[in-house]
C-alpha cells in the first residue's frame, strides 16, 4: 500500500494545496480580456491583437524569446492600460481573485508606481487604488469560498532615478497594505548599487526589501544585492548555481557566496517558467531549483508574470512534480519556506503556517486513507469476520 507521502500529487490536489507567492508582477498578470476592455475604454490603439485569446497567445510567444530585454518589452502594453484609478482597482482585484481561485493563501504582488502616472495620477493615488483593488479582490474571493491575503511590494525601476522616492513611499504606506520594496528591470548595466541611498534609507527605517538579482546577470549581481545593499531576499537568484561545483561522482562543493546564501537562509524567489523564457535555465529538469532544493537552500517557487508565461502557481508546481517527482511533502516544504520569508510580522507568518498551510497539506496527504477504504470491497455476507 503506497501512502500519499510517497505518491505523486494530482493536478487537482496541487490546485487545492495552500500556496504562497512572493514574486509576482501586477502588470505581468492581467487577464487578456481585461487588457482588451481597458484599451477600448482608454483609447489605447497599440495592442497587437483585439481578440482576448489571440492576445494571450501573442504575449506568451513574444515573451518566449530567450532575452530578458525582449521579455520586458511586453509590459509596454499592460502598463499602457493601467493609467487610471478604475483600471488599477480592476486589475488588482482580479489579481487577488485569480490567485485565490488557484489556491494561493498569501501573496506579495509587486508593481512600479512610477509607471502609472501618464494620465495624471500621483504616486499616492496609484498606491491607494491598487490597495483598494486588493481588498476588493480579497472580499470577492471570500464570497467564492476562497481565502487570500495580499500585500503590495513597491518597485523602483533600476534604469530610472526615483528609487529613494519610491522607498519613502513604501515606508509611508507600510501599515496600509504595502509590505516592502523592490527594484526591477534589466540588470546588465544597471547594478543595484546605483540605488544605495534607497536601501540605506529602508535599513534605517527597519523596512523590508528584495532585489531582482542573479537572473540575467551573474554572481556579481547577487553579491552586490546582499553585501552592498543588504537585501532580505533575492528576486530569482538562479545564477547562484554558478558558485556551486558538482563533480562527476556527485560530490558538491559550494563557493563562498553560495555558502553564505545557504548558511544565512537568504530566500531565493525562483520563477521556473520565467527563467526558461529568459534563458536563465534550459528546461524544468535542468533548472537549478532541483539541486538547490536538495542542498536545502531557502528556495521558494513563484510565477513572476502569469500572463507572459501562461502560468499559475499550480502550473509551476505541476512542472516541478513532473521534472523532479516531487511529493506533497516537497510542495509543503517550498510553501513553508515562502511563508517564513514573507514580509509580514512573525506571529502572522507562524499562524499562517500552523493554522492554514500545514493543516491544508495534512488533509491532502490523508486522502489516500479514505481512497483506500473506498476501494476495499465489503465483506461478503456470511464470510469470516476480521479478527481484532
Torsion, CA 315, CA 320, CA 326, CA 332, rounded to 10: -60
State in Å, rounded, how far the first CA of the chain is from the last one.
20
Please spell the DSSP secondary structure of 268-334, one letter per residue: EEE-HHHHHHTTS-S-TTT-THHHHHHTT--EEE--B-HHHHT--HHHHHHHHHHHH---HHHHHHH
User: What single DSSP character describes residue 210?
Assistant: E
Separation between Cα atoms, residue 254 and residue 241, nearest integer Å: 9
Are 67 and 278 within 8 A, CB to CB? yes
Question: Cell numbers at residue 62, please?
Answer: 513574444
Neighbouring C-beta atoms of residue 168, cutoff 10 Å = 17
Neighbour count for residue 255 (Cβ, 10 Å):
14
Is residue 215 annotated as part of the catalytic site, yes or no? yes
Backbone dihedral region for residue 377 (phi beyond 0: left; psi -120 to 50: alpha; all else: beta): beta
* Buried/exposed 114-147: b ≥16 CB within 10 Å, e otherwise: bbbeeeebebebbbbbbbbbbbbbbebbeeeebe
Candidate list 108, 215, 316, 318, residue with the active-site label: 215
Is the distance from CB of 34 to CB of 91 less than 8 angstroms? yes
CA 273-355-134 angle, to 5 degrees, is 55
Q: Which residues of 278-296 are buried (b: 16+ CB within 10 A; e: fewer)?
A: bebbeebeebbbbebbeee
Q: In this structure, what are the phi and psi dihedrals at residue 300, rounded to the nearest 5 degrees?
A: -125, 155
Q: Are 35 and 78 in contact (CB under 8 A)?
A: yes
How many CB atoms lie under 10 A from the CB of residue 252?
Answer: 12
- Annotate 331-369 with DSSP letters as a single string: HHHHHHHHHHTSSS-HHHHHHHIIIIIHHHHHHHHHHHH
299-301 and 268-270 strand pairing? parallel
The residues annotated as belonging to the active site are 215
Amino acid at each position: 500500500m503506497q501512502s500519499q507521502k510517497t505518491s505523486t500529487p494530482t493536478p487537482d490536489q496541487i490546485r487545492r494545496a495552500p500556496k504562497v507567492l512572493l514574486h509576482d508582477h501586477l502588470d505581468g498578470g492581467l487577464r487578456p480580456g481585461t487588457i482588451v476592455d481597458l484599451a477600448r475604454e482608454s483609447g489605447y490603439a497599440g495592442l497587437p491583437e483585439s481578440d482576448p485569446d489571440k492576445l494571450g497567445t501573442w504575449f506568451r510567444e513574444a515573451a518566449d524569446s530567450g532575452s530578458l530585454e525582449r521579455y520586458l518589452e511586453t509590459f509596454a502594453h499592460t502598463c499602457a492600460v493601467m493609467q487610471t484609478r478604475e483600471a488599477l482597482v480592476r486589475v488588482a482585484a482580479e489579481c487577488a481573485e485569480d490567485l485565490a481561485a488557484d489556491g494561493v493563501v498569501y501573496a506579495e504582488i509587486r508593481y512600479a508606481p512610477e509607471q502609472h502616472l501618464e494620465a495624471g495620477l500621483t504616486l499616492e493615488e496609484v498606491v491607494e487604488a491598487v490597495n483598494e483593488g486588493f481588498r476588493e479582490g480579497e472580499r470577492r474571493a471570500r464570497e467564492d469560498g476562497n481565502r487570500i491575503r495580499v500585500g503590495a511590494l513597491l518597485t523602483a525601476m533600476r534604469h530610472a532615478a526615483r528609487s529613494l522616492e519610491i522607498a519613502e513611499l513604501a515606508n509611508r504606506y507600510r501599515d496600509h497594505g504595502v509590505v516592502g520594496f523592490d527594484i526591477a528591470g534589466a540588470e546588465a548595466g544597471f547594478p543595484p548599487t546605483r540605488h544605495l541611498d534607497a536601501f540605506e534609507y529602508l535599513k534605517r527605517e527597519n523596512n523590508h526589501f528584495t532585489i531582482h538579482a542573479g537572473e540575467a546577470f551573474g554572481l556579481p549581481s547577487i553579491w552586490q544585492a546582499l553585501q552592498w545593499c543588504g537585501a532580505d531576499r533575492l528576486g530569482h537568484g538562479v545564477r547562484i548555481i554558478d558558485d556551486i561545483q558538482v563533480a562527476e561522482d556527485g560530490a558538491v562543493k559550494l563557493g563562498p557566496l553560495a555558502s553564505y546564501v545557504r548558511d544565512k537562509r537568504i530566500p531565493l524567489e525562483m520563477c521556473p517558467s520565467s527563467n526558461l523564457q529568459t534563458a536563465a535555465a534550459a528546461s524544468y529538469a535542468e533548472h537549478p531549483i532541483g539541486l538547490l532544493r536538495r542542498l536545502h537552500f531557502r528556495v521558494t517557487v513563484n510565477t513572476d508574470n502569469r500572463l507572459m508565461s501562461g502560468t499559475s502557481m499550480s502550473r509551476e508546481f505541476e512542472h516541478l512534480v513532473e521534472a523532479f517527482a516531487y511529493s506533497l511533502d516537497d510542495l509543503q516544504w517550498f510553501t513553508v519556506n515562502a511563508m517564513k520569508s514573507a514580509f509580514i510580522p512573525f506571529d502572522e507568518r507562524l499562524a499562517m503556517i500552523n493554522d492554514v498551510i500545514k493543516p491544508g497539506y495534512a488533509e491532502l496527504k490523508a486522502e489516500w486513507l479514505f481512497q483506500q477504504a473506498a476501494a476495499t470491497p465489503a465483506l461478503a455476507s456470511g464470510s469470516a469476520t476480521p479478527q481484532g
